[in-house]
Chain A
Amino acid sequence: MDNSSQLAQYILSGLSNGAIYALIGFGFAIIHNATGIINFAQGEFVMLGGMLTIFFLVFLQLPLVPAIALAITLATVVGIVFERLAIRPLKNAKPLSLIIITIGASIFLRGAAMLIWGKDTHALPPFSGNDPLYIAGATILPQHLWIFGISILIIILNKAFFNFTITGKAMRACAYNSYAASLVGIDVKIMVLLSFVISAAIGSMAGIIIAPLTMTSYDVGIMLGLKGFIAVIIGGMSSGLGTVLGGLLLGLLESLGAGYISASYKDAIAFIILLLILFVRPEGLFKKKETQRV
């Protein structure tokens, strides 16, 4: 194995992890832009996606596709219930109290998952085989292609939704100024609810497509949620290209750091990046003059 193929492997591994971070980051961005809060239960949607799919697949013996569809639906319902019961009743609360509520909700969801499904780790079978594919001396699994494909699809759909549909434009209007939006007849409450729906769906989708690789258990949401958070911070809370680049950058740095420095510092690298960004460029790396939020 020569050095170039080793480098290619680090880059590929990094990018595939990065795509996952970006997807999770999206969920943060969408809710933040609609409500101004950071939803720390985002990682729990990721966990729910994976765990619910395994639940439907293994315990109810459903085929893979309906199991995935049901899992996303149910995770989205959890997102709706969460918004209705925990966020909406406190209309005039400060963002800080709402953020603390989301932390509470994440602990609750994790605990509930532990009670329902136990503490074991579960593996989802890969969507299409386990045989590695060779690209430029590096290898990836078919599952990685699924991750790339679905991520790109979600990114495009997202862009199209926010730029070309009335509802998407209305959500962006809420993000700019919710009071003004309500004056022109946009139902802000519905938009907030919708932001929870979208991010729960994207989060659970992310949890499902990575479960065959990383496996899943009741507590996977913590670390993945934090990594997604770092991605969205690098991307400056945008739900567009910024977060995608943020996620990919994070994945790459982690993988190269683990390869060339030491794997023991993998998580440390991620959190050092988070701190640096927060200190030096809290508005995100890619934010120029006026970037669109939402």
Chain B
Amino acid sequence: MDSTQLLKGVLDVAVLAVIEHEDGYGYDIVRRLKQAGLSEVGDASVYGTLRRLFTAGALNSYVVASDDGPHRKYYGINETGIKMLAEQRKSWASFSTQMTNLLSNSRGGKK
């Protein structure tokens, strides 16, 4: 199964999860996602998701100056984002349980 397609539906919650405990800048968040096993995540998808979540009011943003590179735009989760993450966790837990059950029950096909 193409995991890229699955990833599209859960990228919001994945991004929220990796910055739940520590703020991060765009490329750093891409790296965290890849380190978490989502190796096929695209830069543009993450940057786009960050912008969308920020516009939706789920993230705060601030710029940190850098001496040896471009200024970095950090994103941090706020109250709205934390609520959103909690809801999506529930949804995911429910959805994944249903899917797991479905796939387990259907193992072997109809009798």
**Are A and B genuine complex partners?**
no
Residues of A that sit less than 8 Å from B by CB:
none
A-contacting residues of B (Cβ < 8 Å)? none
